[in-house]
Amino acid sequence: MSTITISGVQKKYHQKPVLKDVNLAIQPNQIYGLLGRNGVGKSTLMRIIANRTRIKVGTVTLDGESVFENERAQNRIYLMSTAKLLPQEEKVFKLFKLIKTMYGDFDEAYAEHLAEAFELDTHSKLRKLSTGYQTIANLIIALCLPCDFIFLDEPVLGLDANHRELFYQELAETFSSKPRTFVIATHLIEEVSGLLNHVFVIADGKVSLDEDVEVLQQRGRQISGPAALVQDYLQGVPVLHTTRLGGMMTAYCLQTPLERPLPAGVSLDGMNLQRLFIEVTRKPGGRDEI
Amino acid sequence: MSTITISGVQKKYHQKPVLKDVNLAIQPNQIYGLLGRNGVGKSTLMRIIANRTRIKVGTVTLDGESVFENERAQNRIYLMSTAKLLPQEEKVFKLFKLIKTMYGDFDEAYAEHLAEAFELDTHSKLRKLSTGYQTIANLIIALCLPCDFIFLDEPVLGLDANHRELFYQELAETFSSKPRTFVIATHLIEEVSGLLNHVFVIADGKVSLDEDVEVLQQRGRQISGPAALVQDYLQGVPVLHTTRLGGMMTAYCLQTPLERPLPAGVSLDGMNLQRLFIEVTRKPGGRDEI
Protein backbone atom coordinates (compact mmCIF):
# COMPACT_ATOMS: atom_id res chain seq x y z
CA MET A 1 0.00 0.00 0.00
CA SER A 2 1.19 3.53 -0.81
CA THR A 3 2.56 5.84 1.86
CA ILE A 4 3.68 9.45 1.72
CA THR A 5 6.95 9.76 3.64
CA ILE A 6 8.18 13.16 4.77
CA SER A 7 11.81 13.25 5.87
CA GLY A 8 13.90 16.06 7.29
CA VAL A 9 11.81 18.81 5.72
CA GLN A 10 13.00 22.34 6.41
CA LYS A 11 11.53 25.64 5.22
CA LYS A 12 12.36 29.25 6.02
CA TYR A 13 10.17 32.29 5.49
CA HIS A 14 11.89 35.66 5.34
CA GLN A 15 15.09 34.05 6.74
CA LYS A 16 13.13 32.70 9.71
CA PRO A 17 12.96 28.91 10.06
CA VAL A 18 9.33 27.77 10.12
CA LEU A 19 9.73 24.05 9.52
CA LYS A 20 12.98 22.89 11.14
CA ASP A 21 12.95 19.12 10.77
CA VAL A 22 9.64 17.52 9.91
CA ASN A 23 9.39 13.74 9.69
CA LEU A 24 6.16 11.82 9.33
CA ALA A 25 4.44 9.06 7.39
CA ILE A 26 0.96 9.40 5.88
CA GLN A 27 -0.59 5.95 5.51
CA PRO A 28 -3.40 4.87 3.17
CA ASN A 29 -7.04 4.96 4.24
CA GLN A 30 -6.71 7.12 7.32
CA ILE A 31 -8.22 10.40 8.47
CA TYR A 32 -5.48 12.51 10.01
CA GLY A 33 -5.66 15.70 12.00
CA LEU A 34 -2.76 18.04 11.27
CA LEU A 35 -2.82 20.29 14.31
CA GLY A 36 -0.74 23.20 15.52
CA ARG A 37 -0.90 26.74 16.83
CA ASN A 38 -1.48 29.60 14.40
CA GLY A 39 1.54 30.25 12.19
CA VAL A 40 3.31 27.00 12.99
CA GLY A 41 3.61 25.95 9.33
CA LYS A 42 0.73 23.50 8.76
CA SER A 43 -0.29 25.18 5.50
CA THR A 44 3.33 25.40 4.41
CA LEU A 45 3.80 21.67 4.96
CA MET A 46 0.69 20.85 2.92
CA ARG A 47 1.81 23.15 0.14
CA ILE A 48 5.19 21.42 0.04
CA ILE A 49 3.57 17.97 -0.28
CA ALA A 50 1.28 19.27 -3.05
CA ASN A 51 4.26 20.70 -4.97
CA ARG A 52 3.11 24.28 -4.57
CA THR A 53 6.09 25.40 -2.45
CA ARG A 54 9.66 24.28 -3.05
CA ILE A 55 12.13 23.20 -0.42
CA LYS A 56 15.91 23.00 -0.41
CA VAL A 57 16.29 20.55 2.47
CA GLY A 58 14.30 17.36 2.98
CA THR A 59 12.31 14.89 0.90
CA VAL A 60 8.69 13.93 0.35
CA THR A 61 8.18 10.58 -1.36
CA LEU A 62 5.24 8.47 -2.49
CA ASP A 63 6.01 4.82 -3.20
CA GLY A 64 9.68 5.71 -2.85
CA GLU A 65 9.60 8.39 -5.58
CA SER A 66 9.94 12.10 -4.87
CA VAL A 67 6.57 13.85 -5.27
CA PHE A 68 8.21 17.08 -6.47
CA GLU A 69 7.66 17.83 -10.17
CA ASN A 70 6.23 14.31 -10.41
CA GLU A 71 2.96 14.36 -12.30
CA ARG A 72 2.08 10.75 -11.58
CA ALA A 73 2.46 11.28 -7.84
CA GLN A 74 0.72 14.67 -7.87
CA ASN A 75 -2.28 13.17 -9.69
CA ARG A 76 -2.86 11.09 -6.57
CA ILE A 77 -2.58 14.09 -4.22
CA TYR A 78 -5.04 16.95 -3.90
CA LEU A 79 -4.77 20.04 -1.71
CA MET A 80 -7.96 21.98 -1.03
CA SER A 81 -7.19 25.37 0.45
CA THR A 82 -8.75 28.79 0.60
CA ALA A 83 -6.38 29.96 -2.14
CA LYS A 84 -8.37 30.94 -5.20
CA LEU A 85 -6.71 28.60 -7.65
CA LEU A 86 -9.92 27.62 -9.44
CA PRO A 87 -11.13 29.65 -12.42
CA GLN A 88 -13.32 32.34 -10.84
CA GLU A 89 -15.35 33.18 -13.95
CA GLU A 90 -16.55 29.61 -14.50
CA LYS A 91 -20.01 28.49 -13.46
CA VAL A 92 -19.87 25.79 -10.81
CA PHE A 93 -21.53 23.01 -12.85
CA LYS A 94 -19.14 23.72 -15.73
CA LEU A 95 -16.25 23.60 -13.31
CA PHE A 96 -17.35 20.11 -12.27
CA LYS A 97 -17.36 19.03 -15.95
CA LEU A 98 -13.99 20.65 -16.54
CA ILE A 99 -12.52 18.78 -13.61
CA LYS A 100 -14.09 15.55 -14.86
CA THR A 101 -12.23 15.92 -18.15
CA MET A 102 -8.99 16.52 -16.24
CA TYR A 103 -9.45 13.68 -13.72
CA GLY A 104 -11.35 10.88 -15.45
CA ASP A 105 -12.90 9.50 -12.30
CA PHE A 106 -14.36 12.69 -10.82
CA ASP A 107 -17.61 11.53 -9.17
CA GLU A 108 -20.12 13.84 -10.85
CA ALA A 109 -23.19 12.15 -9.37
CA TYR A 110 -21.82 12.59 -5.86
CA ALA A 111 -20.96 16.23 -6.65
CA GLU A 112 -24.57 16.82 -7.64
CA HIS A 113 -25.80 15.13 -4.48
CA LEU A 114 -23.50 17.32 -2.37
CA ALA A 115 -24.47 20.52 -4.21
CA GLU A 116 -28.09 19.75 -3.45
CA ALA A 117 -27.42 18.88 0.20
CA PHE A 118 -25.51 22.15 0.71
CA GLU A 119 -28.02 24.11 -1.41
CA LEU A 120 -25.17 25.34 -3.60
CA ASP A 121 -26.33 27.18 -6.73
CA THR A 122 -24.29 25.39 -9.39
CA HIS A 123 -25.44 27.83 -12.07
CA SER A 124 -23.65 30.68 -10.33
CA LYS A 125 -20.15 31.73 -11.30
CA LEU A 126 -17.61 30.80 -8.64
CA ARG A 127 -16.70 34.48 -8.20
CA LYS A 128 -20.29 35.44 -7.44
CA LEU A 129 -20.73 32.96 -4.60
CA SER A 130 -20.41 34.15 -0.99
CA THR A 131 -17.13 33.26 0.73
CA GLY A 132 -18.90 30.42 2.55
CA TYR A 133 -20.24 28.93 -0.67
CA GLN A 134 -16.88 29.29 -2.44
CA THR A 135 -15.48 27.15 0.36
CA ILE A 136 -18.33 24.66 -0.10
CA ALA A 137 -17.70 24.42 -3.87
CA ASN A 138 -14.03 23.79 -3.08
CA LEU A 139 -14.96 21.12 -0.55
CA ILE A 140 -17.28 19.34 -2.96
CA ILE A 141 -14.53 19.12 -5.55
CA ALA A 142 -12.13 17.73 -2.94
CA LEU A 143 -14.61 15.02 -1.89
CA CYS A 144 -15.38 13.95 -5.49
CA LEU A 145 -11.87 13.71 -6.90
CA PRO A 146 -10.36 10.25 -7.38
CA CYS A 147 -7.19 11.09 -5.41
CA ASP A 148 -5.67 8.77 -2.80
CA PHE A 149 -4.44 11.59 -0.53
CA ILE A 150 -6.67 14.58 0.04
CA PHE A 151 -5.37 17.50 2.11
CA LEU A 152 -7.93 19.91 3.52
CA ASP A 153 -6.55 23.19 4.87
CA GLU A 154 -9.08 24.79 7.25
CA PRO A 155 -11.99 23.21 5.38
CA VAL A 156 -14.77 24.71 7.53
CA LEU A 157 -13.40 28.20 8.24
CA GLY A 158 -16.35 30.61 8.28
CA LEU A 159 -18.98 27.92 7.62
CA ASP A 160 -22.04 28.02 9.85
CA ALA A 161 -22.76 25.19 12.29
CA ASN A 162 -25.26 23.47 9.98
CA HIS A 163 -22.85 23.36 7.04
CA ARG A 164 -20.00 22.19 9.25
CA GLU A 165 -22.11 19.31 10.55
CA LEU A 166 -23.19 18.35 7.04
CA PHE A 167 -19.58 18.36 5.88
CA TYR A 168 -18.46 16.09 8.74
CA GLN A 169 -21.32 13.68 7.98
CA GLU A 170 -20.55 13.56 4.27
CA LEU A 171 -16.84 13.10 4.90
CA ALA A 172 -17.57 10.13 7.19
CA GLU A 173 -19.89 8.59 4.58
CA THR A 174 -17.61 8.99 1.57
CA PHE A 175 -14.67 7.71 3.61
CA SER A 176 -16.57 4.59 4.63
CA SER A 177 -17.90 3.87 1.13
CA LYS A 178 -14.59 4.62 -0.61
CA PRO A 179 -11.66 4.57 1.80
CA ARG A 180 -8.78 6.94 1.02
CA THR A 181 -6.65 9.28 3.09
CA PHE A 182 -7.72 12.69 4.32
CA VAL A 183 -5.39 15.06 6.15
CA ILE A 184 -7.31 17.85 7.85
CA ALA A 185 -5.71 21.02 9.24
CA THR A 186 -8.21 22.76 11.48
CA HIS A 187 -8.52 24.85 14.62
CA LEU A 188 -11.97 23.37 15.37
CA ILE A 189 -10.49 20.28 16.94
CA GLU A 190 -13.30 19.12 19.16
CA GLU A 191 -15.86 19.11 16.34
CA VAL A 192 -13.68 17.04 14.05
CA SER A 193 -12.21 14.74 16.69
CA GLY A 194 -14.80 12.00 16.14
CA LEU A 195 -13.62 11.63 12.55
CA LEU A 196 -9.89 11.41 13.17
CA ASN A 197 -7.91 8.17 13.42
CA HIS A 198 -4.55 9.77 14.05
CA VAL A 199 -3.12 13.14 14.99
CA PHE A 200 0.06 15.00 14.11
CA VAL A 201 0.85 18.06 16.19
CA ILE A 202 3.42 20.49 14.78
CA ALA A 203 5.22 22.70 17.30
CA ASP A 204 8.44 24.66 17.04
CA GLY A 205 9.08 23.42 13.49
CA LYS A 206 8.85 19.71 14.33
CA VAL A 207 6.27 16.97 14.83
CA SER A 208 5.78 17.08 18.59
CA LEU A 209 3.05 14.44 18.72
CA ASP A 210 2.32 11.61 16.25
CA GLU A 211 -0.25 9.28 17.74
CA ASP A 212 -3.52 7.42 17.24
CA VAL A 213 -6.49 9.31 18.63
CA GLU A 214 -7.58 6.26 20.58
CA VAL A 215 -4.23 6.05 22.37
CA LEU A 216 -4.17 9.79 23.02
CA GLN A 217 -7.60 9.71 24.55
CA GLN A 218 -6.44 6.95 26.88
CA ARG A 219 -3.28 8.85 27.83
CA GLY A 220 -4.75 12.30 28.38
CA ARG A 221 -6.13 12.76 31.89
CA GLN A 222 -7.18 15.63 34.09
CA ILE A 223 -6.81 15.23 37.83
CA SER A 224 -8.78 17.56 40.12
CA GLY A 225 -9.06 18.00 43.85
CA PRO A 226 -7.51 19.78 46.83
CA ALA A 227 -4.14 21.12 45.65
CA ALA A 228 -2.05 19.32 48.28
CA LEU A 229 -3.63 15.94 47.44
CA VAL A 230 -3.26 16.42 43.67
CA GLN A 231 0.38 17.43 44.10
CA ASP A 232 1.00 14.46 46.32
CA TYR A 233 -0.63 12.03 43.87
CA LEU A 234 1.37 13.41 40.94
CA GLN A 235 4.74 13.60 42.73
CA GLY A 236 7.51 13.21 40.14
CA VAL A 237 5.07 13.00 37.20
CA PRO A 238 5.42 15.42 34.24
CA VAL A 239 2.41 17.73 34.19
CA LEU A 240 1.38 19.74 31.12
CA HIS A 241 -0.43 22.47 33.00
CA THR A 242 -2.27 23.20 36.23
CA THR A 243 -5.06 25.59 37.06
CA ARG A 244 -6.06 26.65 40.57
CA LEU A 245 -9.28 28.00 41.99
CA GLY A 246 -9.16 28.67 45.71
CA GLY A 247 -7.53 25.64 47.28
CA MET A 248 -8.53 23.35 44.39
CA MET A 249 -6.22 22.32 41.57
CA THR A 250 -6.70 20.67 38.19
CA ALA A 251 -3.63 19.11 36.59
CA TYR A 252 -3.44 17.93 32.95
CA CYS A 253 -1.17 14.97 32.24
CA LEU A 254 -0.22 12.57 29.44
CA GLN A 255 1.32 10.12 31.90
CA THR A 256 -0.85 9.36 34.86
CA PRO A 257 0.41 7.08 37.63
CA LEU A 258 -2.67 4.87 37.48
CA GLU A 259 -0.90 2.29 39.66
CA ARG A 260 -1.02 4.69 42.62
CA PRO A 261 -4.21 4.69 44.70
CA LEU A 262 -6.28 7.81 43.98
CA PRO A 263 -6.69 9.83 47.21
CA ALA A 264 -10.27 10.34 48.40
CA GLY A 265 -11.59 13.69 47.13
CA VAL A 266 -9.42 13.59 43.97
CA SER A 267 -11.10 12.87 40.64
CA LEU A 268 -9.51 11.55 37.48
CA ASP A 269 -11.18 12.16 34.09
CA GLY A 270 -10.38 11.90 30.40
CA MET A 271 -9.41 14.94 28.33
CA ASN A 272 -11.13 15.71 25.07
CA LEU A 273 -8.87 16.20 22.04
CA GLN A 274 -9.16 20.00 21.93
CA ARG A 275 -8.29 20.32 25.62
CA LEU A 276 -5.38 17.93 25.12
CA PHE A 277 -4.15 20.01 22.18
CA ILE A 278 -4.40 23.23 24.19
CA GLU A 279 -2.41 21.74 27.05
CA VAL A 280 0.20 20.11 24.80
CA THR A 281 0.85 23.30 22.82
CA ARG A 282 1.02 25.83 25.65
CA LYS A 283 4.15 27.93 25.43
CA PRO A 284 6.90 26.53 27.72
CA GLY A 285 6.47 29.58 29.98
CA GLY A 286 2.95 28.34 30.65
CA ARG A 287 4.09 24.88 31.74
CA ASP A 288 3.76 24.09 35.38
CA GLU A 289 5.83 21.94 37.63
CA ILE A 290 4.26 20.14 40.54
CA MET B 1 -30.69 52.07 32.35
CA SER B 2 -29.92 52.56 28.67
CA THR B 3 -31.28 50.22 26.04
CA ILE B 4 -30.70 50.01 22.29
CA THR B 5 -34.06 49.52 20.59
CA ILE B 6 -34.23 48.26 17.02
CA SER B 7 -37.61 48.68 15.33
CA GLY B 8 -38.81 47.62 11.92
CA VAL B 9 -35.34 47.64 10.36
CA GLN B 10 -35.21 46.73 6.68
CA LYS B 11 -32.21 46.52 4.38
CA LYS B 12 -31.80 45.36 0.79
CA TYR B 13 -28.62 44.34 -0.97
CA HIS B 14 -28.61 44.44 -4.75
CA GLN B 15 -32.45 44.76 -4.70
CA LYS B 16 -32.72 41.62 -2.59
CA PRO B 17 -34.22 42.04 0.88
CA VAL B 18 -31.78 40.82 3.53
CA LEU B 19 -33.30 42.29 6.68
CA LYS B 20 -37.08 42.37 6.28
CA ASP B 21 -38.39 43.49 9.67
CA VAL B 22 -35.96 43.31 12.56
CA ASN B 23 -37.16 44.22 16.06
CA LEU B 24 -35.17 43.68 19.20
CA ALA B 25 -33.99 45.32 22.40
CA ILE B 26 -30.40 45.24 23.63
CA GLN B 27 -30.34 45.71 27.40
CA PRO B 28 -27.48 46.92 29.57
CA ASN B 29 -24.97 44.51 31.15
CA GLN B 30 -25.77 41.42 29.14
CA ILE B 31 -23.77 39.11 26.89
CA TYR B 32 -25.82 38.35 23.80
CA GLY B 33 -25.31 35.81 21.06
CA LEU B 34 -26.40 37.11 17.66
CA LEU B 35 -26.83 33.89 15.72
CA GLY B 36 -27.90 33.01 12.21
CA ARG B 37 -26.96 31.01 9.14
CA ASN B 38 -24.29 32.34 6.77
CA GLY B 39 -25.45 35.38 4.83
CA VAL B 40 -28.52 36.05 6.97
CA GLY B 41 -27.54 39.66 7.70
CA LYS B 42 -25.92 39.56 11.16
CA SER B 43 -22.99 41.72 10.07
CA THR B 44 -25.34 44.08 8.24
CA LEU B 45 -27.44 44.57 11.38
CA MET B 46 -24.34 45.33 13.46
CA ARG B 47 -23.10 47.77 10.86
CA ILE B 48 -26.46 49.55 10.90
CA ILE B 49 -26.36 49.93 14.70
CA ALA B 50 -22.79 51.23 14.51
CA ASN B 51 -23.77 53.83 11.88
CA ARG B 52 -21.60 52.26 9.18
CA THR B 53 -24.49 51.31 6.90
CA ARG B 54 -27.53 53.50 6.28
CA ILE B 55 -31.12 52.33 6.19
CA LYS B 56 -34.24 53.84 4.69
CA VAL B 57 -36.79 51.93 6.75
CA GLY B 58 -36.69 51.37 10.51
CA THR B 59 -35.14 52.97 13.57
CA VAL B 60 -32.35 52.25 16.04
CA THR B 61 -32.50 54.29 19.23
CA LEU B 62 -30.45 54.59 22.42
CA ASP B 63 -32.20 56.31 25.33
CA GLY B 64 -34.95 57.25 22.90
CA GLU B 65 -32.61 59.08 20.49
CA SER B 66 -31.75 57.80 17.02
CA VAL B 67 -28.19 56.46 16.95
CA PHE B 68 -27.67 57.49 13.34
CA GLU B 69 -25.30 60.41 12.83
CA ASN B 70 -25.43 60.82 16.60
CA GLU B 71 -21.94 61.23 17.99
CA ARG B 72 -22.97 61.00 21.64
CA ALA B 73 -24.74 57.69 21.05
CA GLN B 74 -22.00 56.32 18.79
CA ASN B 75 -19.35 57.09 21.44
CA ARG B 76 -21.11 54.52 23.62
CA ILE B 77 -21.21 51.88 20.85
CA TYR B 78 -18.22 50.01 19.39
CA LEU B 79 -18.21 47.50 16.55
CA MET B 80 -15.19 45.23 16.25
CA SER B 81 -15.12 43.51 12.90
CA THR B 82 -12.58 42.03 10.53
CA ALA B 83 -12.79 45.16 8.40
CA LYS B 84 -9.45 46.92 8.35
CA LEU B 85 -10.61 50.25 9.67
CA LEU B 86 -7.63 50.79 11.95
CA PRO B 87 -4.51 52.55 10.62
CA GLN B 88 -2.42 49.70 9.22
CA GLU B 89 0.93 51.49 9.31
CA GLU B 90 0.74 52.28 13.03
CA LYS B 91 2.63 50.23 15.60
CA VAL B 92 0.26 48.50 18.00
CA PHE B 93 1.41 50.26 21.19
CA LYS B 94 1.08 53.64 19.43
CA LEU B 95 -2.38 52.63 18.29
CA PHE B 96 -3.32 52.00 21.93
CA LYS B 97 -2.10 55.51 22.83
CA LEU B 98 -3.91 57.02 19.87
CA ILE B 99 -7.15 55.38 20.95
CA LYS B 100 -6.61 56.55 24.51
CA THR B 101 -6.48 60.16 23.30
CA MET B 102 -9.71 59.57 21.36
CA TYR B 103 -11.57 57.75 24.13
CA GLY B 104 -10.37 59.17 27.47
CA ASP B 105 -11.08 56.02 29.43
CA PHE B 106 -9.32 53.44 27.25
CA ASP B 107 -7.89 50.94 29.76
CA GLU B 108 -4.23 50.97 28.79
CA ALA B 109 -3.09 48.81 31.70
CA TYR B 110 -5.57 46.10 30.75
CA ALA B 111 -4.49 46.37 27.10
CA GLU B 112 -0.91 45.73 28.18
CA HIS B 113 -1.99 42.76 30.28
CA LEU B 114 -3.92 41.31 27.33
CA ALA B 115 -1.08 41.91 24.87
CA GLU B 116 1.20 39.97 27.19
CA ALA B 117 -1.30 37.15 27.73
CA PHE B 118 -1.80 36.75 23.95
CA GLU B 119 1.94 37.25 23.28
CA LEU B 120 1.13 40.06 20.87
CA ASP B 121 4.18 42.01 19.70
CA THR B 122 3.01 45.58 20.33
CA HIS B 123 6.10 47.00 18.63
CA SER B 124 5.01 45.54 15.30
CA LYS B 125 3.04 47.56 12.78
CA LEU B 126 -0.56 46.38 12.55
CA ARG B 127 -0.07 45.55 8.85
CA LYS B 128 2.89 43.26 9.59
CA LEU B 129 0.99 41.07 12.05
CA SER B 130 -0.42 37.72 10.92
CA THR B 131 -4.17 37.65 10.28
CA GLY B 132 -4.68 35.94 13.64
CA TYR B 133 -2.73 38.60 15.51
CA GLN B 134 -4.51 41.44 13.67
CA THR B 135 -7.73 39.94 15.01
CA ILE B 136 -6.20 39.76 18.50
CA ALA B 137 -5.12 43.43 18.36
CA ASN B 138 -8.68 44.30 17.30
CA LEU B 139 -10.12 42.24 20.15
CA ILE B 140 -7.87 43.86 22.74
CA ILE B 141 -9.01 47.31 21.66
CA ALA B 142 -12.65 46.21 21.88
CA LEU B 143 -12.19 44.87 25.43
CA CYS B 144 -10.39 48.00 26.67
CA LEU B 145 -12.67 50.72 25.30
CA PRO B 146 -15.03 52.47 27.70
CA CYS B 147 -18.14 51.78 25.57
CA ASP B 148 -21.43 50.53 27.00
CA PHE B 149 -22.33 48.39 23.98
CA ILE B 150 -19.61 46.37 22.30
CA PHE B 151 -20.43 44.40 19.16
CA LEU B 152 -18.05 41.61 18.16
CA ASP B 153 -18.47 40.25 14.64
CA GLU B 154 -16.87 36.80 14.38
CA PRO B 155 -14.32 37.66 17.07
CA VAL B 156 -12.46 34.33 17.00
CA LEU B 157 -12.49 33.50 13.27
CA GLY B 158 -9.19 31.80 12.44
CA LEU B 159 -7.85 31.90 16.01
CA ASP B 160 -6.35 28.69 17.34
CA ALA B 161 -7.98 26.81 20.21
CA ASN B 162 -5.61 28.28 22.83
CA HIS B 163 -6.27 31.87 21.80
CA ARG B 164 -10.02 31.26 21.62
CA GLU B 165 -10.03 29.88 25.14
CA LEU B 166 -7.97 32.80 26.43
CA PHE B 167 -10.36 35.26 24.78
CA TYR B 168 -13.42 33.63 26.37
CA GLN B 169 -11.73 33.70 29.79
CA GLU B 170 -10.74 37.34 29.48
CA LEU B 171 -14.19 38.32 28.26
CA ALA B 172 -15.78 36.63 31.26
CA GLU B 173 -13.37 38.37 33.63
CA THR B 174 -13.69 41.88 32.21
CA PHE B 175 -17.47 41.48 32.08
CA SER B 176 -17.62 40.48 35.73
CA SER B 177 -15.27 43.25 36.92
CA LYS B 178 -16.86 45.96 34.75
CA PRO B 179 -20.33 44.96 33.52
CA ARG B 180 -21.34 46.30 30.10
CA THR B 181 -23.07 44.78 27.09
CA PHE B 182 -21.42 42.53 24.55
CA VAL B 183 -23.19 41.29 21.40
CA ILE B 184 -21.28 38.42 19.80
CA ALA B 185 -21.96 37.14 16.29
CA THR B 186 -20.25 33.78 15.88
CA HIS B 187 -20.59 30.41 14.20
CA LEU B 188 -18.74 28.70 17.08
CA ILE B 189 -21.84 28.54 19.21
CA GLU B 190 -21.02 25.70 21.54
CA GLU B 191 -17.72 27.21 22.63
CA VAL B 192 -19.26 30.56 23.48
CA SER B 193 -22.51 29.25 24.92
CA GLY B 194 -21.28 29.32 28.52
CA LEU B 195 -20.77 33.08 28.27
CA LEU B 196 -24.12 34.04 26.81
CA ASN B 197 -27.11 35.27 28.81
CA HIS B 198 -29.47 35.68 25.90
CA VAL B 199 -29.70 34.69 22.26
CA PHE B 200 -31.13 36.33 19.16
CA VAL B 201 -31.50 34.12 16.10
CA ILE B 202 -31.97 35.86 12.76
CA ALA B 203 -33.68 33.85 10.02
CA ASP B 204 -35.37 34.93 6.84
CA GLY B 205 -34.81 38.63 7.59
CA LYS B 206 -36.44 38.58 11.02
CA VAL B 207 -35.68 37.70 14.62
CA SER B 208 -36.92 34.13 14.82
CA LEU B 209 -35.82 33.49 18.41
CA ASP B 210 -35.23 36.01 21.22
CA GLU B 211 -34.77 34.15 24.48
CA ASP B 212 -32.64 33.73 27.59
CA VAL B 213 -30.13 30.92 27.24
CA GLU B 214 -31.31 29.39 30.50
CA VAL B 215 -34.89 29.15 29.23
CA LEU B 216 -33.76 27.80 25.86
CA GLN B 217 -31.70 25.10 27.48
CA GLN B 218 -34.74 24.04 29.49
CA ARG B 219 -36.97 24.01 26.39
CA GLY B 220 -34.68 22.21 23.96
CA ARG B 221 -34.91 18.43 24.23
CA GLN B 222 -33.90 15.45 22.17
CA ILE B 223 -36.00 12.31 22.43
CA SER B 224 -34.50 9.00 21.27
CA GLY B 225 -35.73 5.46 21.04
CA PRO B 226 -37.60 2.99 18.82
CA ALA B 227 -39.28 5.08 16.09
CA ALA B 228 -42.83 3.91 16.82
CA LEU B 229 -42.51 4.75 20.53
CA VAL B 230 -40.97 8.18 19.87
CA GLN B 231 -43.71 8.98 17.35
CA ASP B 232 -46.35 7.86 19.78
CA TYR B 233 -44.91 9.94 22.63
CA LEU B 234 -44.70 13.06 20.44
CA GLN B 235 -48.14 12.69 18.82
CA GLY B 236 -49.39 16.18 17.91
CA VAL B 237 -46.21 17.94 19.12
CA PRO B 238 -44.23 20.22 16.76
CA VAL B 239 -40.88 18.63 16.02
CA LEU B 240 -37.90 20.57 14.63
CA HIS B 241 -36.21 17.58 13.01
CA THR B 242 -35.85 13.84 13.24
CA THR B 243 -33.02 11.49 12.36
CA ARG B 244 -33.32 7.74 11.92
CA LEU B 245 -30.81 4.95 12.17
CA GLY B 246 -32.27 1.52 11.57
CA GLY B 247 -35.48 1.36 13.60
CA MET B 248 -34.30 4.04 16.03
CA MET B 249 -35.33 7.68 15.87
CA THR B 250 -34.13 10.88 17.51
CA ALA B 251 -36.51 13.84 17.52
CA TYR B 252 -35.54 17.43 18.42
CA CYS B 253 -38.22 19.57 20.07
CA LEU B 254 -38.69 22.95 21.72
CA GLN B 255 -41.98 21.86 23.27
CA THR B 256 -41.83 18.52 24.98
CA PRO B 257 -44.97 16.99 26.50
CA LEU B 258 -43.27 16.40 29.85
CA GLU B 259 -46.67 15.66 31.42
CA ARG B 260 -46.92 12.44 29.38
CA PRO B 261 -45.25 9.33 30.81
CA LEU B 262 -42.05 8.54 28.93
CA PRO B 263 -42.33 5.06 27.36
CA ALA B 264 -39.77 2.51 28.53
CA GLY B 265 -36.83 2.43 26.07
CA VAL B 266 -37.23 6.12 25.15
CA SER B 267 -34.69 8.62 26.49
CA LEU B 268 -35.11 12.36 26.93
CA ASP B 269 -32.04 14.61 27.06
CA GLY B 270 -31.17 18.28 26.87
CA MET B 271 -29.87 19.89 23.68
CA ASN B 272 -26.72 21.98 23.71
CA LEU B 273 -27.02 25.46 22.22
CA GLN B 274 -25.24 24.66 18.95
CA ARG B 275 -27.46 21.61 18.34
CA LEU B 276 -30.52 23.71 19.16
CA PHE B 277 -29.39 26.39 16.70
CA ILE B 278 -28.82 23.80 13.96
CA GLU B 279 -32.27 22.33 14.46
CA VAL B 280 -34.02 25.71 14.71
CA THR B 281 -32.40 27.05 11.53
CA ARG B 282 -32.82 24.06 9.24
CA LYS B 283 -34.41 25.02 5.95
CA PRO B 284 -38.19 24.30 6.02
CA GLY B 285 -37.64 21.48 3.52
CA GLY B 286 -35.55 19.79 6.17
CA ARG B 287 -38.31 19.99 8.80
CA ASP B 288 -39.96 16.75 9.74
CA GLU B 289 -43.46 15.97 10.78
CA ILE B 290 -44.16 13.13 13.15
DSSP 8-state assignment for residue B193: G
Distance from CA of A222 to the nearest CA of B (A): 17
User: Can you give the pLDDT at residue B35?
Assistant: 97
For chain A, what are the domain ranges? 4-215, 220-286
Residues 6 or more apart whose Cβ sits within 8 Å of residue B236: none
Question: Mean pLDDT, to the nearest integer, of A120-136?
Answer: 93
Across the range B128-136, mean pLDDT stands at 91
pLDDT tens figures, A253-263? 999 999 999 99
B186, closest residue in chain A (CA to CA) = A160
Residue A159 to residue B38, Cβ atoms within 8 A: yes
Distance from CA of A146 to the nearest CA of B (A): 29
CB-CB neighbors (< 8 A) of B165 in chain A: 278
Residue B83 has a pLDDT of 64
CB distance B37–A160 less than 8 Å? yes
The DSSP line for B221-241 is EEEEEEHHHHHHHTTT---SE
Is CATH 3.30.460.90 the right assignment for the domain spanning A4-215?
Answer: no
Long-range Cβ contact pairs of A109-118 (< 8 A, separation 24 or more): A110/A143, A110/A144, A110/A174, A111/A140, A111/A141, A111/A144, A114/A140, A114/A143, A114/A144, A114/A170, A115/A140, A117/A166, A117/A170, A118/A163, A118/A166
What pLDDT is stored for residue B276 in this prediction?
95
- Output the pLDDT for position B287: 45
Local confidence band at A45 (pLDDT 50, 70, 90 cut-offs): very high
Partner A, chain B 19-38, Cβ-Cβ below 8 Å? 36-38
With a cut of 70, say whether residue B286 has pLDDT above it.
no
State ipTM: 0.89
Size of interface A-B (CB pairs under 8 A): 59
Asked if residue B169 has pLDDT above 90, the reply is yes
Please, are residues A66 and A59 in contact by the beta-carbon 8 Å criterion? Answer: yes
B187 and A274 within 8 Å at the Cβ level: the answer is no
Q: Is A272 on the interface with B (CB under 8 A)?
A: no
